[in-house]
Chain A
Amino acid sequence: MAWINTFNLAEASALIPSHHNLTYHLIVIVISAIAAFVPRYFPMRFFTNRKIPEWFNEWMKYVPISLFTALVIKGIFISSDYGLVQDHVKLLGNIMIYGHAGQIVAAIFVAITAYFTRSMAASVLVGLVGVWLFGLFL
């Protein structure tokens, strides 16, 4: 979602093509809804419907941890054009690092908070304050 930084709102509204009317938008919405629904429904229907071999369940057990780390990595280290994010840390003499410096530090604080409090709300709050704070001076 990081590409939004480069998204100029004023420019965007000036660029709307003339054929983008209500009907067109409704078609787009239905198309998008189908694209979102098919991968959600059919695999789940398939696997709740029949006997699943135990090895498949064992495999799926490791899906959440892999997926969540992949999503976090994408958020912190991958830019909108799918390159590695490069950031300069002012505090350390402007050295170049990969990934958003403020987010990396905030992420560590979130992990510590989650580890000791087990509270989702506290973790998210620490994350928001952290990314704002460290973004200011890193």
Chain B
Amino acid sequence: MDIFEKVKEITVEQLGVEEDAVTMDASFINDLEADSLDIVELMMALEEEFDIEIPDEDAEKIATVSDAVEYIKDKQ
């Protein structure tokens, strides 16, 4: 499974949104209705899944699904 598919799966699980809504352009806050607590939990789930650390200052820059996918690619 590629990174996007994994991120999508985790996003659907964490945010309780429909799969179709999780596009590369989707903003976690504006489109997927995540709040600040959701974002923290989502970052934790991504860290766990991809076995990476996402420091707070990096997490603040991850606004969309594609931001997350790109960040994970760089880290791996």
**A and B bound?**
no
Q: Please report A residues at the B interface, Cβ cutoff 8 Å.
A: none
Q: Please report B residues at the A interface, Cβ cutoff 8 Å.
A: none
